[in-house]
Chains A and B, each alone.
Chain A
């Protein structure tokens, strides 16, 4: 365990379903991130939350909806997904510094393997 826990580890959902991915960290970090990792594609940053406020949304389709109720928890709500959304979804956290640099980098969870059928 890295200190960042993602559930579920695996998820199969139909295109009409609604599901949520959960991420939890107790490292005292105050910035959290969602990444999408597809086969043969670079890591794609989806959302960034810093101090519980969304600071970046990299033009992600509205069928993905993030929620950050506090600095320890991050959710990704999914609805009416497409088969091309099948991927490994990674959550990460970092300690936000006022210099703007995550000196210790990110700590990643183990990911949720999502399959859309």
Chain B
């Protein structure tokens, strides 16, 4: 069975500083990996995804993530935080399953950006 662990339920960064959100997964087969962002009182919006090919993937709003198979990780980074990055971020993993096309989500990391 697949699972996703996001280290740190809350992260505080200063505006202009590096944003690093950690995600580790367990999967018995090569996974598909996703990062979603959720702004207050809204649904989840896809930031980026890894399926196959290049292990460094770029997403919207200047975010990128790197798939490291040896570390079973898919950490999300942004070089310079902006106030608009304050939101909750969810990592998710998908395996080939017979039915349901399930994504398994991590517990989420809430990002606070300080001026």
Contact = CB atoms under 8 A, between A and B. Distances in A.
Interface of A: 2, 4, 6, 31, 42-43, 45, 48, 50, 55-56, 88, 90, 92, 94, 96-97, 99-111, 113
Interface residues of B, number: 27
B105 A108 contact: no
A56 B96 CA distance: 16
Interface of B: 32, 34, 36, 41-46, 49, 51, 90, 92, 94-103, 105-108
Give the top 8 A-B pairs by smallest Cβ distance, nearest first.
A108-B43, A102-B101, A108-B44, A100-B96, A48-B100, A55-B99, A42-B107, A110-B43
B105 A31 contact: no
B40 to A, nearest CB: 10
Given A99-B96, A104-B46, 17 more contacts: A42-B107, A43-B105, A48-B99, A48-B100, A50-B99, A55-B100, A56-B99, A101-B95, A101-B101, A102-B32, A105-B46, A105-B49, A105-B94, A106-B46, A106-B103, A110-B41, A110-B42
Nearest to A103: B51
A101 B32 contact: yes
24 contacts: A4-B43, A42-B105, A42-B108, A43-B108, A50-B99, A56-B99, A56-B102, A90-B44, A92-B43, A94-B101, A99-B96, A100-B98, A100-B101, A101-B94, A101-B97, A102-B101, A103-B32, A104-B46, A105-B32, A105-B46, A108-B44, A109-B43, A111-B41, A113-B41
